[in-house]
Amino acid sequence: MHKLSLDFLKVTEAAAVASLPWVGTGEKNSADDAATTAMREMLNQVNMNGTVVIGEGELDEAPMLYIGEKLGNGSEPKIDIAVDPIEGTTPTVNGQGNANAVIAAAPKGTLLHAPDMYMEKIAVGPKAIGKIDIDAPLIDNIKAVASANGKSLSELNVYVQDRDRHKGYIDTIREAGGKVHLFSEGDVTYSIATCLEIGNVDMVIGIGGAPEGVVSAVGIKCLGGEMQARLLPRNEEEADRCRKMGLANPETALRHNDLVSSDDCIFAATGITENILLNGIKVSPEGNYLVNSVLLNGEDKQLRFIESLYLKNRIA
């Protein structure tokens, strides 16, 4: 896996650069199509036998890298891939912050194989490993995280996506004395930030997409944090799809090793627009692109911030 790290970095860089012309246009499908096409083309050049194990739905017609899609040139090694060509399509096309191209990969059979559906998630940094339990009441978890991080509840910073479905979480945290920081997009970004000394993010909790959950779980594993989750089928059809993918009990608690069971994993993200983790793409007066990315490797627990210059005459 380690030797493929730069290949996956090139994948997210290509997707981010391809999506830049669509920033601020309002054209979501065009942005998704550009990022997805660039990602697919780059992935198919990688020396691997890759399979998307969690991404967009298999039967949808929107631009996507779909669950079950085969990628790479067919050679060894066999790789599981979790992907979101644009995490934050809406802010991308609205010219707002919090948009990245992201991907995660690990050896075959080590990433959660599940449908594109809702997932409940809790993410924390290294100090709080072993202190969270998705089966426990939220109040117990926030108290445990505050204690692990050496903080009082009034000092605890919990990040929650600004959605109506999270009102119960928000009320519980605030009633306990904790601070709630709302964000509109950037589930993966803020989850990764729990493991870094940026933004003072103690905990991320909420309900969002399962693909973003698995991508986050890989990044957090690379950084020594912890994530737990639970799939939330909305109907029997979604529950049956889970069972067909090998999840006998679709709503069982998923511990970190259920999401990603190998340390030999890779996470890459490239900024499209400005966010807490990365700068967005900057265009020079000469038309060159300055691109910022983060690359994580689970085996050596290394984090690399990488700045790349794409010259105008080399940009497709």
Asked, for residue 113, whether it belongs to a domain, the answer is no
Average pLDDT over residues 217-232: 97
Closest residue by Cα to residue 124 from 154, 138, 145, 151: 145
Asked, for residue 123, whether it belongs to a domain, the answer is yes
Looking at per-residue pLDDT, the higher value among 68 and 57 belongs to 68
Give me the pLDDT at residue 62, please: 56
pLDDT above 50 for 59: no
Looking at the fold, whether 59 and 153 belong to one and the same domain comes out as: no
Asked, for residue 315, whether it belongs to a domain, the answer is no
CATH number, domain containing residue 214: 3.40.190.90
CATH number, domain containing residue 73: 3.30.540.10
Looking at the fold, whether 142 and 178 belong to one and the same domain comes out as: yes
95: left (phi over 0), alpha (psi -120 to 50) or beta: left
**Tens digit of pLDDT for each residue in 13-28?**
999 999 999 999 999 9
pLDDT above 70 for 316: no
DSSP E strand stretches across the chain: 49-54, 70-71, 78-87, 99-107, 118-124, 157-161, 179-183, 203-209, 226-231, 266-273, 282-283, 289-297, 302-310
Looking at the fold, whether 48 and 102 belong to one and the same domain comes out as: yes
Asked, for residue 131, whether it belongs to a domain, the answer is yes
Q: Which of 222, 242, 259 is the last residue of a domain?
A: 259
Looking at the fold, whether 79 and 53 belong to one and the same domain comes out as: yes
Asked, for residue 316, whether it belongs to a domain, the answer is no
Looking at the fold, whether 169 and 68 belong to one and the same domain comes out as: no
Looking at the fold, whether 66 and 135 belong to one and the same domain comes out as: no
* Full domain range(s) for residue 71: 2-108+265-310
Burial 114-141 (b: 16+ CB within 10 A, else e): bbbbbbbbbbbbebbeebbebeeebeeb
Instruction: Confirm or deny that 56 is annotated as ligand binding.
Output: yes
Looking at the fold, whether 245 and 272 belong to one and the same domain comes out as: no
Looking at the fold, whether 124 and 243 belong to one and the same domain comes out as: yes
Instruction: Confirm or deny that 87 is annotated as ligand binding.
Output: yes
Instruction: Specify the number of domains making up the chain.
Output: 2
Most confident option among 193-202, 265-274, 279-288: 265-274
The rounded mean pLDDT for the chain is 93
